[in-house]
Amino acid sequence: MPRTFARLSAFMRGKVVGMAEAGMRGAVIANKVFKKDGKHPTVAAVRKLIARAAADTKWQGVQPGGPGRPRTFTASQRTRLVRLVFKYRGQKCVTTKFCRQHLPFLREASRFVVADELKAAGLAWLRRRRKVWIPEEKREARMAYGKSMMKRRARTLKSFAYTDGTTVYLARDDVEEGDQRRRRLGAHVWKMSSGSDGLFSDNVGPSLYAANQGRPVKIWGFFANGRLMYYILPADGKSTVHMNGPNFRAMMTRYANKWKKACFGSCVPLHIPLVQDHERCLWQEKSLKTLRQHGLSVEKSFPKSSPDLNAIEGVWAMLRKRLDESAPLRRETRDQFVIRLRRQVCNMNKTDKQILKRLCTNQKERAKDVARLMGARTRW
């Protein structure tokens, strides 16, 4: 019997076939039956079982080799799996997918089975760090903003725009390059759940100090209607120009209308609600006046400490992932990075249009999460 549904008892296999004959879909059936370990089978396993029963009407659902859960891997195979994790941890992003790519015998099992074997060996998929805390005094404003979004019309929500900046650091020496390679491995790593390897260098994250990350490249973005537009702040000698009131107003005066047309095409709304963080230079009266002159109406009720409610933050995360995946093995110059950035943004705007569109228009979904969590940080 294929390993995909060998862990279902004969009773459960019969139940699956019965529900399928009653017209239930595979996804629904998978949530109603359980394997011998108490977990739900995958939808693919359910569909294969249904196909197996349809192909052989005489099949009674009996498992060859007797009852009981079959051994997934041998002791030798488990040892090879654990050794693989420790060999590449700190050099590659060692996920269950990575393990299945490097050990052929793992491809017969699902990623959930591989994860169970790693957990049985004392490993756990743990996060290095995560900032999720929202001060109590700011939760009320977040909930009020969420309520206001629930009252907005769908047509209005589609015209929203988001703006914010981000910084990418270019390595200045080999030490910083190594630190950046470590950061690109992701936030999670397979570590001993007991904490016995807590100080091992191969599962420690990069430095938290910006001064040690490299030479900054500051990028400002404008995100609307599923399209990201950006502006790179120029470099002045060895330092990078910072965003301030005059620079912000000059940038918006030069690019605001171009960005609006690029995002909305020929159907540019007369008034575009703009969500922006609470950096002082953005809220100066001169800056607000410049935005109004270009048809941008700032959402003044947008709460502080709410990056999860500013859709462009999710776009920055997507872009950073693409930049990490396309990063060269050697240090690159600022000009080389700018070329790579342009390519990744163009590719993202073209291939991820639907995802970006959803990020622009799911304000009510975010508002529901804020209300459900009583103003705490959401998953966005």
pLDDT digits over 96-115, tens only?
889 999 999 888 888 888 88
pLDDT on residue 107: 84
The pLDDT value recorded for residue 162 is: 96
Asked if residue 87 has pLDDT above 80, the reply is yes
Strand 123-127 to 296-298 pairing? unpaired
Inform me whether the pLDDT recorded for 70 exceeds 60: no
Amino acid found at 231: Y
Confidence class for position 170, pLDDT limits 50, 70, 90: confident
Tokens standing for 306? 């709410």
Say if pTM beats, i.e. exceeds, 0.75: no
- Contact between 4 and 11 (Cβ < 8 Å): no
Whether the pLDDT of residue 72 is over 90: the answer is no
Average pLDDT over residues 36-55: 83
Token pair for residue 112? 């959930």
Q: What value does the CA radius of gyration of the chain take, rounded to a whole number of Å?
A: 26
Lowest-confidence segment of 7-11, 131-135, 148-152, 373-377 by average pLDDT: 131-135
Q: What is the pLDDT of residue 130?
A: 46
Q: Is 236 left (phi over 0), alpha (psi -120 to 50) or beta?
A: beta
pLDDT for 66: 45
Indicate the average pLDDT of the chain.
83
Task: Quote the pLDDT of residue 343.
Answer: 95
Q: Residue 69 above 60 pLDDT?
A: no
Least trusted range by pLDDT, from 28-37, 98-107, 155-164, 251-260: 28-37
Distance of CA 334 to the CA centre of its chain: 26
Pick from 4-13, 17-26, 78-87, 145-154: least confident: 4-13
209 pLDDT above the threshold of 50 = no
User: Which of 302, 160, 292 has its CA nearest to residue 224?
Assistant: 160
| Whether residue 355 has pLDDT greater than 60 | yes
pLDDT band at 256 (very low <50, low <70, confident <90, very high): very high
pLDDT score at 23:
86
What pLDDT score does 129 carry? 44
Q: How far is CA 17 from CA 9, 10, 56, 58, 70, in A?
A: 13, 11, 12, 13, 22
The answer to which of 43-57, 151-165, 236-250, 295-309 has the lowest mean pLDDT is: 236-250
Percent of all residues in the chain with a pLDDT value above 70, rounded to a whole number: 83
Of 20 and 205, more confident: 20
Q: Is 216:115 a contact under the CB 8 Å cutoff?
A: no
Q: What percent of the chain has pLDDT over 90?
A: 38
pLDDT score of 318? 92
- At 149, the pLDDT band (50, 70, 90 cuts) reads very high
Lowest mean pLDDT, pick from 77-81, 158-162, 374-378: 374-378
pLDDT tens for each residue of 182-202: 666 666 777 777 767 665 666
Flag whether pLDDT at 4 surpasses 60. Answer: no
Which residues are paired to 297 by β-bridges?
273
Q: Which of 108-112, 140-144, 158-162, 250-254 has the weakest average pLDDT?
A: 108-112
Is residue 114 within 8 Å of residue 99, measured between CB atoms? yes
Q: What are phi and psi of 227, to 5 degrees?
A: -140, 135
* pLDDT of residue 75 exceeding 50: yes
The per-residue pLDDT for 1 is: 43
Of residues 132 and 379, more confidently modeled:
379
